[in-house]
């Protein structure tokens, strides 16, 4: 069973596939491309299709991979000798050099499951616990070594980097020269979900391509035809997921609610009680979670705040909240007038920074909840 998506498996990316095709046919493909798009979106599956396009030995005149040449067959299994996959990993043992080559099997497994996976799923696959997966320095050394060997079999050698933003500065600095003047035939394809976290020196060497969201009609059609969703439900899911298939499927599974969204809602509800005891108890409960989970809770809050703002001041078409939680969301939004939002955002940023810097989770969250109690309008 091929584990890599075909061009026809992509949703709403026809024009980008055609764009790269014409660049490849004309011999004008940039040697370093950065695909940007949100997690769970089409950017990563598109990068796999682009790698097939680059490596196929019998590309059609339209620039579509033939699907049957030796190269396409190897690519379908993600076992191509001229494809190097690089992604964030953790050090299972200190003092030992780790590269993504050693974690290729779990990575392939996840792609085989579904190619629109998220960082959280990858963390779970790695069993990362409290560790922050990153692209290690040894990785840069491996790439420099591999690309210096001119023995590759195809016309091209593809280096596909998922989440280059997790590169350590040391790694990035080592890669700069390779990115600046790659050996002939080497093509870098990077996929970033947070391009603002990339070093400017890296970004300036990449051709940036924003991967668009799935158009609503395409996503609705997919949910109805491929996932057996009723027409009306498919419409609601598509609207709430804002063109993100992964989110739409998660919502479908969760009966119309995002997990992160629910947790964020519960957090923002706490200060409505205006009593420190339950706040302290809640902070103590949160402290039992892994640190990265707390960070992802703090990451989910700004999104929900945006929704609350839209709920209080906007019109229906800019509100993306499931109907089930509208009443609770409304209560919080009434406590937060417009002028308080920047203050709340600043408090969230500070709290997140303290958690990242190993601050005491109970204390940081208790402080944050108390501050929110003061900020909330009666
Ligand atoms: Zn082919």
Domain ranges of the chain: 7-210, 214-256, 257-375
Instruction: Indicate if the alpha-carbon torsion angle 259, 260, 263, 264 is positive or negative.
Output: negative
pLDDT tens-place string over residues 305-336: 988 998 888 877 777 787 778 889 999 999 99
By the 8 A CB rule, do 161 and 191 touch? Answer: yes
Q: Cα(60) to centroid of ligand 1, in Å?
A: 8
Sorting pLDDT into bands at 50, 70 and 90, what band is 56?
very high
Q: Cα(186) to centroid of ligand 1, in Å?
A: 18
What mean pLDDT value characterizes the chain? 90
Sorting pLDDT into bands at 50, 70 and 90, what band is 148?
confident
pLDDT of residue 365: 97
Burial class of residue 343 in the structure, from the number of CB atoms within 10 Å of its CB (0-12 exposed, 13-18 middle, 19+ buried) = middle
Q: Cα(10) to centroid of ligand 1, in Å?
A: 18
CATH number for the domain formed by residue range(s) 257-375: 1.20.272
Percentage above 90 pLDDT, the chain = 66
CATH topology identical between 7-210 and 257-375: no
Q: Cα(5) to centroid of ligand 1, in Å?
A: 14
Q: Cα(77) to centroid of ligand 1, in Å?
A: 13
pLDDT of residue 210: 97
Q: Cα(69) to centroid of ligand 1, in Å?
A: 4
Burial class of residue 26 in the structure, from the number of CB atoms within 10 Å of its CB (0-12 exposed, 13-18 middle, 19+ buried) = exposed
Q: Cα(13) to centroid of ligand 1, in Å?
A: 20
Indicate whether 159 pLDDT > 70: yes
Neighbours of 368 (CB within 10 A): 25
**Can you read off the two tokens belonging to residue 73?**
């067959």
The distance from CA 172 to its chain's CA centroid, rounded to whole angstroms, is 20
Task: State the Cα–Cα distance between residues 57 and 70, nearest whole angstrom.
Answer: 8
**Cβ-based neighbours of 288, under 8 Å, separated by 6 or more:** none
**Which CATH superfamily is 7-210 part of?**
P-loop containing nucleotide triphosphate hydrolases (3.40.50.300)
Pairing mode, strands 186-192 and 32-36: parallel
Sorting pLDDT into bands at 50, 70 and 90, what band is 369?
very high
Q: Cα(57) to centroid of ligand 1, in Å?
A: 5
**Can you read off the two tokens belonging to residue 80?**
């191509």
Sorting pLDDT into bands at 50, 70 and 90, what band is 344?
very high
Kindly give the residue spans of alpha helices, DSSP state H, lying in the chain.
14-25, 43-55, 70-76, 104-113, 119-126, 137-148, 169-180, 200-203, 216-227, 231-241, 245-253, 259-269, 276-286, 291-313, 326-335, 341-356, 361-375
By the 8 A CB rule, do 52 and 65 touch? Answer: yes
Q: Cα(59) to centroid of ligand 1, in Å?
A: 6
């Amino acid at each position: 069973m091929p584990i890599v998506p075909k061009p026809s498996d992509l949703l709403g990316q026809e024009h980008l596939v055609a764009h790269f095709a014409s660049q490849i046919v004309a011999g004008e493909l940039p040697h370093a491309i950065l695909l940007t798009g949100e997690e769970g979106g089409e950017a990563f599956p598109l990068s796999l299709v682009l790698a097939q396009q680059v490596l196929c030995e019998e590309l059609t005149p339209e620039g579509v991979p033939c699907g049957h040449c030796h190269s396409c067959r190897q690519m379908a299994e993600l076992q191509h000798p001229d494809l190097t996959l690089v992604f964030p990993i953790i050090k299972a043992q200190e003092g030992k050099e780790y590269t993504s080559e050693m974690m290729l099997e779990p990575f392939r497994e996840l792609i085989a499951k579904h190619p629109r996976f998220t960082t959280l799923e990858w963390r779970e696959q790695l069993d990362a616990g409290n560790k922050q997966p990153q692209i290690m320095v040894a990785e840069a050394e491996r790439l420099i070594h591999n690309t210096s060997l001119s023995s590759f079999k195809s016309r091209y050698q593809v280096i596909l980097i998922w989440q280059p933003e997790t590169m350590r500065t040391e790694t990035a600095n080592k890669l700069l020269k390779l990115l600046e003047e790659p050996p002939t035939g080497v093509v870098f394809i990077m996929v970033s979900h947070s391009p603002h976290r990339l070093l400017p020196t890296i970004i300036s060497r990449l051709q940036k391509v924003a991967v668009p969201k799935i158009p609503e009609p395409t996503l609705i059609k997919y949910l109805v035809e491929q996932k057996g969703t009723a027409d009306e439900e498919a419409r609601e899911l598509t609207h709430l997921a804002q063109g993100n298939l992964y989110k739409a499927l998660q919502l479908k599974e969760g009966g119309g609610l995002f997990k992160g969204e629910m947790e964020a809602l519960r957090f923002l509800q706490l200060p409505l009680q205006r009593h420190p005891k339950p706040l302290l108890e809640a902070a103590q409960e949160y402290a039992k979670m892994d640190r990265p989970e707390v960070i992802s809770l703090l990451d989910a809050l700004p999104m929900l705040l945006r929704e609350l703002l839209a709920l209080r001041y906007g019109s229906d078409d800019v509100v993306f909240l499931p109907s089930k939680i509208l009443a609770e969301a409304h209560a919080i939004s009434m406590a937060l007038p417009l002028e308080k939002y920047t203050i709340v955002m600043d408090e969230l940023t500070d709290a997140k920074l303290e958690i990242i810097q190993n601050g005491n989770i109970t204390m940081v969250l208790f402080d944050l909840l108390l501050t929110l109690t003061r900020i909330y309008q009666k």
